[in-house]
Amino acid sequence: MANAVNWFEIPAKDFGRAKKFYETIFGFELMVADPERPSGMFPADWQKGEIGGSITAGEGCEPSDKGSVVFLNGGDDLAKVLDKVEGAGGKVVLPKTKIPMGDAGFMALFLDCEGNKVGLHSMG
C-alpha cells in the first residue's frame, strides 16, 4: 500500500460558498465534476500517484468539527494559506505549530465556512 489515503471528501451544505472559500485560500480553481451531486475536485495528478479529494454537497454531506480531520498540503509555508482563512469566512483554531517529531514540519487547524475542522501541513 503506497498511501494510507486514496481520496477525501469535505462535506458542504452550501456548495458555492465552500467552493469559493477553498479557491480563495489556496488560489486555485476546483474543477466541478458532477452537477447532479455538486463536487469540486482539488487538483491532483493521478498518474504521479498524488492523492485527490473534493468539496461535496448533497444528501448525507454533513459538515462537522468533530471526528476525522483531513490535513491539506499548505505548500512551502502553510502560513500563506492560513492567513487567508478568516478573510474568506473561516476561523483559525490552531495557529501554525511545529510538529514535535524530528523534522516533521508544521501544522495548523481551521474551521472552514461550512463548520468543518480541517488541517494544514507544510515543511516550512
For residue 33, what pLDDT is reported?
A: 79
For residue 36, what pLDDT is reported?
A: 78
With a cut of 70, say whether residue 22 has pLDDT above it.
Answer: yes
CA 119 to chain CA centroid, Å, is 7
Architecture of domain 7-122 in CATH? Roll (3.10)
* Better-predicted residue by pLDDT, 62 or 102: 62
Q: In whole numbers, what is the pLDDT of the chain averaged over residues?
A: 94
**Grid coordinates 478568516 are at which residue?**
86
Query: What does the domain layout of the chain look like in residue ranges?
Result: 7-122
For residue 4, what pLDDT is reported?
A: 85
With a cut of 90, say whether residue 113 has pLDDT above it.
Answer: yes
User: Per-residue DSSP letters for 25-88?
Assistant: HH-SPPEE--TTS-EEEPP--GGGT--EEEEEESTT----SSS--PEEE-TT-THHHHHHHGGG
- pLDDT tens string 27-76: 999 999 777 789 999 999 989 989 999 999 998 999 999 999 999 999 99
For residue 53, what pLDDT is reported?
A: 95
Name residues whose C-beta falls within 8 Å of residue 100's C-beta, 6 or more positions apart in sequence.
Answer: none
Quick one: pLDDT band at residue 1, thresholds 50, 70, 90?
low
For residue 19, what pLDDT is reported?
A: 97
